[in-house]
């Protein structure tokens, strides 16, 4: 379970600090900041992402997953485990 915890911490950080991840989310209509320029809670960002996930092609999911999770994590089975547990759908 610690692997998933560490992975989520990494994802949380990347969602709000890595420009390719921020840009990738914006491209599908998921903002990380509100209209006042304040950071949106990560839980809300993930909820917004999950509502759009199933409409993305597998290629889009893979690319966005790579931007959000990073190369090391996306290559591990943990990404699929998170997806299967409803974190990303």
pLDDT in tens, 10-41: 888 888 888 999 999 999 999 999 999 999 99
Q: Which of 86, 84, 17, 30 is nearest to 60 (CA)?
A: 30
Distances (CA, A) of 36 to 40, 42, 43: 10, 16, 18
* pLDDT tens digits, 64-84: 988 888 776 555 555 555 566
pLDDT at 10: 80
Report the pLDDT value the prediction gives residue 76, as an integer from 0 to 100. 52
Pair of tokens at residue 48: 């917004």
pTM: predicted TM-score of the whole model, two decimal places: 0.72
pLDDT of amino acid 16 = 86
| Mean pLDDT, all residues of the chain | 82
| Residue 39 bridge partners (DSSP) | 33
**DSSP code of 37?**
S
């Amino acid at each position: 379970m610690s692997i998933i915890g560490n992975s989520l911490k990494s994802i949380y950080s990347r969602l709000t600090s890595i420009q390719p991840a921020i840009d990738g989310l914006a491209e599908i209509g998921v903002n990380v900041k509100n209209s006042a320029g304040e950071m949106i809670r990560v839980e809300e960002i993930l909820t917004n992402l999950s509502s759009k996930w199933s409409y993305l092609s597998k290629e889009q999911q893979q690319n966005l997953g790579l931007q959000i999770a990073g190369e090391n994590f996306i290559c591990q089975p943990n990404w699929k485990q998170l997806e299967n547990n409803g974190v990303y759908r």
